[in-house]
């Protein structure tokens, strides 16, 4: 897949422009392998069929719901002012209802420190970039059951949520423990991988 997709691009990348290795670049490098593996697992679901798309959504929900619950419990709205515009729990539950999907929830991570919370947010917000690409695959389906269940993949696409998150990350960078932010990101990728393996 990544022969076709360039994950190293500098598009929308304030960190590259500053010429120093910033927190976002650190996160991207530290999780590149986890991202590659997750891509492979998720692209194994056949997104042209309802059965494949249902399993894809079930896997995503299995990780997204406990991660968002942990973020809320850890006070995400005090750090991420526009959190209510970012939560995708309702969107994915709505999609699952429409295509008769089931919930297989992964264990929620323990309460997140400020640094870990930002690492989890990095992964969830970054997943919107892959979603843009996946939405195009799903949109090719002629099945209205599928094309009517894309609230998760299209969520927030009219807003520059990723770019705004990168600004927040750069703003918070002086106040975080880098290793802990990376640990939060690894936890989030780990939960998605677990959900993709078990779905």
What tokens appear for 48 in the block?
């042209």
Q: Which of 39, 143, 178, 180 binds ligand HEM (CB under 6 A)?
A: 39
Minimum Å distance from CB 81 to ligand HEM?
20
If one asks whether residue 134 binds ligand HEM (CB under 6 A), the answer comes out as: yes
144 vs 171 by CB, closer to ligand HEM: 171
| Stretch of 72-80, 120-128, 139-147, 170-178 lying at the interface with ligand HEM (CB under 6 A) | 120-128
Q: Which of 35, 54, 116, 155 binds ligand HEM (CB under 6 A)?
A: 35
Size of the site for ligand HEM (CB under 6 A): 21
What distance in Å separates the CA atoms of residue 81 and residue 76, rounded to the nearest whole number?
A: 8
Give yes or no for a contact between 38 and 196, defined as CB atoms under 8 angstroms apart. yes
Which residues neighbour 7 within 8 Å (Cβ) at sequence distance 6 or greater?
28, 32, 35
C-alpha count within 13 angstroms, C-beta hemisphere, residue 68: 20
Q: CA 73 to CA 82: how far, in whole Å?
A: 16
**Distance of closest approach, residue 20 Cβ to ligand HEM, in angstroms:** 16
CB of 92 to ligand HEM, least distance (A): 12
Phi-psi region of 110 (alpha: psi -120 to 50; beta: other; left: phi over 0): beta
Count Cβ atoms below 10 Å from residue 152 Cβ, excluding itself.
24
Q: Mark the segment that binds ligand HEM (CB under 6 A) among 3-11, 85-93, 141-149, 176-184.
A: 3-11
- Contact set with ligand HEM (CB under 6 A): 1, 5, 7, 9, 11, 24, 28, 35, 38-39, 42-43, 122-123, 126-127, 129-130, 133-134, 192
């Amino acid at each position: 897949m990544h022969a076709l997709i360039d994950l190293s691009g500098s598009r929308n990348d304030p960190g590259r422009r500053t010429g120093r290795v910033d927190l976002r670049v650190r996160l991207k490098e530290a999780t590149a392998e986890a991202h590659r593996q997750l891509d492979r697992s998720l692209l194994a679901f056949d997104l042209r069929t309802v059965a494949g798309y249902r399993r894809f959504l079930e896997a995503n929900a299995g990780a997204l719901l406990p991660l968002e619950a942990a973020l809320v419990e850890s006070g995400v709205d005090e750090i991420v002012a526009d959190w209510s515009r970012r939560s995708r729990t309702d969107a994915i539950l709505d999609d699952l209802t429409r295509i008769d999907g089931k919930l297989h929830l992964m264990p929620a991570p323990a309460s997140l420190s400020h640094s870990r919370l930002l690492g989890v947010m990095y992964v969830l917000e970054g997943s919107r970039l892959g979603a843009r690409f996946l939405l195009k695959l799903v949109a090719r389906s002629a099945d209205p059951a599928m094309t009517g269940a894309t609230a998760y993949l299209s969520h927030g696409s009219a807003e520059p949520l990723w770019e705004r998150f990168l600004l927040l990350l750069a703003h918070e960078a002086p106040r975080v423990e880098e290793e802990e932010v990376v640990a939060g990101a690894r936890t989030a990728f780990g939960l998605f991988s677990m959900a993709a393996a078990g779905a």
